[in-house]
Each structure stands twice: as structure tokens, then as C-alpha cells.
Chains A and B, each alone.
Chain A
Amino acid sequence: MKSTEVFNIAWAAILKNKVRSLLTMLGIIIGVAAVIVMVAISAGTEATINEEINSLGANLVFVQSSFTRGGAGGAPEGGLVYDDAAAIAEGVDGVGGVVVEQTASETVKSSSAVLDGISLLGSTSDFPSVRDMNIADGRYFNELEVDRKQKVAVLGASLAEELFGDSDPIGQDITVGTTRLVVIGIFEEKGLVGDVDYDSRLYMPITVVLDKFAQSQFARIMGDRVRLIYVEVDDQENLDNVILQIELLLAKRHDLPLEEADFTVTTQQDIIGTQEATTAAFRSLLAWVAGVSLIVGGIGIMNIMLVSVTERTREIGIRQSIGATPSDIRWQFLTEALLLSLVGGLIGVIVGVSGAWIFGSVSGMRTVVVTSSIILAFGSAALVGAFFGYYPANKAAELDPIEALRHE
């Protein structure tokens, strides 16, 4: 019997019981769709996080403060201070740049606009290179300006637009809270990275932020303490060496043995590693969920195929009596099982791809449909069909013609 004829018979059998076929395919549909949606969500999340990490600039080392709560006044003890950053920049070899950041929020006025709640980012002069930000016009402030607490400001792209419209902001005055600053530069557009909008921020020397705008209770008791120092290493090769130098230097400055350090040093690699471990764990969980639902789907197919073989025992007997060989019969039922799983897989792909898209637009989460997940899911569906279809098909093929013909 030709394969097209076998296909037609199998297809007719599936169409004959449309509802039953659809219910049988449900397990496969759900399994395949689940794989595609879950992989799309995980790939979307991963892409977002990677962008975030990359936007920080390469070869970054993070020196994080670990405070201990102080005595009566509640002022924290230990931890990093602003001068630690300068000490790292001077005392550690192989460092490309050191940045300390301090944020605040203020009302910003220009000659033509008043904007409330603008976030201020105080930093040091290495900020653009360490954080991969490019100046579009003018310049960033230098080390001297930071030291001297110069009242200069650099605008994010969209903030410049909102404050000054079409006119050139460079050299113009803005009022932040009650303090006047001169605009000396504008950043290129950076866009949203993660959930941070770098374009709507106002950048200025960290010393100015600490001096004028650190108004919150928390900020005041913090004094010149900083939470985080970004250190850019000039060469990936030097990473471990730089970390060691930083640890030794800070331990000495804080007069503590290394084991009791009031700071931690992590690298971008550590963060990526953690991220990858999380993703891998998620992936394997996903693989289990998908595997189980595909197996359940396969058992469903096997179940229905066994019913089908029983129902059509007489038909099998008739076909055998006019010359169908065991392999003719086996192929007929295997094709039917394969077709069930493939059609189920196809519907699953459609449901999965549109499901990922709908989920993405409804939840606002980023989803990336991964081609290999479609191929994998579809391929597994086919494999499941062949595996679970074989036993019923073989049972049909092994039927004795006379007994099959006698079946009512």
C-alpha cells in the first residue's frame, strides 16, 4: 500500500472522530505550547538581564558596603566611605576608572520649564566610561570639578529636550532645588535599560549631591558613606589581581582583618554566573514539566489508539483477509498515532507562539519565541507519537485474521 493511501486512511480515521481526536491531542497541545511559552518567557527575561548587565560596561568590579547598625543615634558603623573610592583609584594597579554614585530627587527649573521629581545622579568623573555612556554635546565633569564641588550638570537626552526644547542647553543655568548649576554637557540617547531610564536623569558631581541634595533622614545619617563603588578593570586578565588589591587596601584603610571586612567585592562574572545558574534551574524545571506533559499526552494517544484498534478489529480482519501484511496494518495505525501527535504538535506550536505573544503584550513582560524550542517541542511530539503509537500498532499487526474477522 502506498504511503499516501496509508496517510489518507489514517487521516480519515482521525476526522471520523473529531472531538475524540482533539481531546486525545490535548496533552500534546498543552505540552508543546507550554514549552514554547515558558522558553519564550525565560529567553525574554534573560535578554533583559543581559542587556542590563552589558549596559553597565564590561570588566566591572562592584565593591559593596556592608554596614553594621550603630549605637544610640542609629548611625551605621563601618562600611565604605567616599574617600575609599579615591584610594582605590590611586592605590590599585590596573584600574581603568572608579565611580561612586549617589542618587537624589529634586525639582529642576530652566528658563522655560519646571520639572518635578527629576532623579539626580551624583557620580565621579569616570562615570561615562565605566557605565558606557556617550556624551553627545559638551563634556562630562572632571576630577577637579568633583573635588571642588563645582556646580556643573550634564543632562540626559530626553531631559535636555524637556528643559530646553530646541535651544542649545550648553552654558545655560538650571536651578535644582535652590541651587544653581551650569549645564556643561548632554548625553546621547541611551534608552530604557532594565527599568532605568538613563535619558531623563540629571548628572552632577557626587560631592555636590552629598553636599546639597542628600536631604533624606537616611542620607543625612549616612554622611559620606557610600553603598557601592564601581571599579572598572582595564584588562579582564587583571581581574583577580585587582580584586585582591582592593580587598587588601580597604581592609588596611578600615583597620580590619580580611575575614571581618565590612565590604564585599563581586564581579560582573559572579552576577552573570548567578543569573545563568537561575536560568539553568528554570530551564531544567521547564524540561521536566514539558517532558511530563508530553508523556501524559503520549499515554493519551496510546490509550485512544488501543480503543481504536479494538473498535476496528473487524476492519483489521477484513484488510488482512484481502492481503494486508502485518507491516501494512502496523504502518496504518502508527501513521494514525503519528498524525495525531503531529497535528497536536502543530496546534501546540500555534497556541504556544500566539500564547507567548499574548502573554507578552498582556503582562508587559518581554517574551522571545525561540526557534529551537519550536523544533524541539514539535520533534518531541513526533517522538512521543511514534513511541506510544508503536505498541497499539503492533498489537493490531499481530492480530490473528480469523479472530479479527469473528470480532463483532
Chain B
Amino acid sequence: MAARAIIETKTLTQIYGMGDARVAALDGVSISVHEGEFVAIMGPSGSGKSTLMNILGCLSRPTSGEYFLDNEDVSGLDKVELAAIRNKKIGYIFQSYNLLSRTTALDNVILPLQYDRTTERTKEEREEVATKALGMVGLADRMQHQPQELSGGQQQRVAIARALVNEPVLIMADEPTGNLDSKSGAEIMELLHDLHNEGATIVMVTHSSEIASHTQRTIHLRDGKLDKVISNGKKAKK
């Protein structure tokens, strides 16, 4: 039985600039990612990885092409609808953590719950859900700490808790270990693999073929085009 498709794109194209300055950052990329899959995206600098991630993460819209997220066509949605999709369906993990400064770990994790218009939750319920998410990433004892009081690895854990808190169908990670030393990086990868083992669908950009090799598939981009897709021979766990 084929697993449900979470990501399904058809000839995604992203054009920047006009005339001589015209750059096709993405040029007809068609990929699909199934539920429960852990996929790595690799490619040289400027090959369009971040551009693809932005579109898949609903942070921007492609110039042309189609994108189905969880069987919903999101390529034609407006800003407000995209914001709702980002809030409910996608958890985004950035290389530079992107936590709100001078805001406690708990409040950072509560943030997506505050922008959730579809679920009514009391303040206490939100704190409970956020506390649980922070517990899952092993930061139960750091909830009242602000980002500047946390190590890079801990900050990235807070960011992961924030990405998880609305139970998204897709987790996007753009070089999540890029700013970390190898030990913290390994811990973050371990955490992502744990999430994957619990059924999460993850798409991750990485420059390390070692890290990519631990995922199920690696999608290689070159000059905005799909270069090759390599199966790493791991089974999706369900």
C-alpha cells in the first residue's frame, strides 16, 4: 500500500529578476515526499535548496508550477491562507534557530498556539501543550530560560519544540546543524531521527553527505533542476 503523499510538486519554477538579471532559482522541479519519510536535500551553493524549502514551507509562492501539501493545492493560496498553513501544517526549523529574544523558551513555544485560529485553547491549556513539547526535546528544566541563556544546541531544541507544538504534517529543516559543533549537531540529528521514528515527515537541507546518508532519500539539486534522487536504503518506519 503506497503511503499518503505529503508533498507533491509539479514543475515548480521560481524566477528572480528580469531581463539580463533573470535567474531561474528553481527550474521545473517535480518531487514527492510521502508520509513518514525522512528526506535530505543536497546541492552546491546557489543550486536552489533554500528557494525550494521556502516554497515547500509555504513562506513563498512559486512563479509557476503546482504544489500539493497534504493533498491540498497551496500554490494558489493568498498570504492569509498561507499563514494558516504555516501555522497548522508545517513546523520550520532554521539554521539560526530564529527564536524571539528576551522571551522565555516556554513563551517561544507557545507562540504558534497563539496564532492558531482553528483551536480554542485557554492559557493553561497552551502552557500544558508547550510544556509537553519542551519535555519531548529534553528541556523540561529550561522552560523559563531566555535564548541568550541557552547553548546553541538547546536553542535549536526549543526551535524544534516550537515546530512540533501544533502537530504539523511536515517538518522542514534548513541546515539545522549548520551553526552547531559536531556534538550538539549529532544530538539534534538524534532528536530528528527520534521524531522520524515516531512517524514525523521530515525534509532537511544539509551540506553533509554523512548526515544525508542516515535519511531515507537524498534529493540532489543543481542549477535549480532536479539532479538525482538517491535512495539510502532505509525503510520508513510507521
Contact = CB atoms under 8 A, between A and B. Distances in A.
19 contacts: A1-B114, A5-B114, A315-B101, A318-B98, A319-B111, A322-B92, A322-B111, A323-B112, A323-B166, A324-B115, A325-B80, A325-B83, A325-B84, A325-B115, A326-B79, A327-B80, A401-B59, A402-B59, A405-B98
The 6 closest A-B pairs by CB, nearest first: A323-B87, A323-B115, A325-B83, A322-B112, A401-B59, A325-B80
A148 interface: no
B80 A401 contact: no
The A contact surface, by secondary structure, is helix
Interface of A: 1-2, 5, 16, 314-315, 317-328, 400-402, 405
A325 B79 contact: yes
A315 B98 CA distance: 8
Contacts of B84: 323, 325
Interface string B29-68: 0000000000000000000000000100101100000000
A402 B94 CA distance: 12
A402 B116 contact: no
Interface of B: 54, 57, 59-60, 79-80, 83-84, 86-88, 92, 94, 98-102, 111-112, 114-116, 162, 166
A229 B212 CA distance: 109
Contacts of A401: 59-60
Contacts of B59: 320-321, 401-402, 405
- Among B60, B114, B162, find the residue whose CB has the most chain A CB atoms closer than 10 A: B114
A402 B79 contact: no
A323 B88 contact: yes
Contacts of B86: 320-323
B230 to A, nearest CB: 28
A401 B64 CA distance: 19
A320 B162 CA distance: 14
A290 B99 CA distance: 43
A314 to B, nearest CB: 8
B174 to A, nearest CB: 10
Contacts of A323: 83-84, 86-88, 112, 115-116, 166
B112 A16 contact: no
B115 A328 contact: yes
A322 B60 contact: no
A322 B87 contact: yes
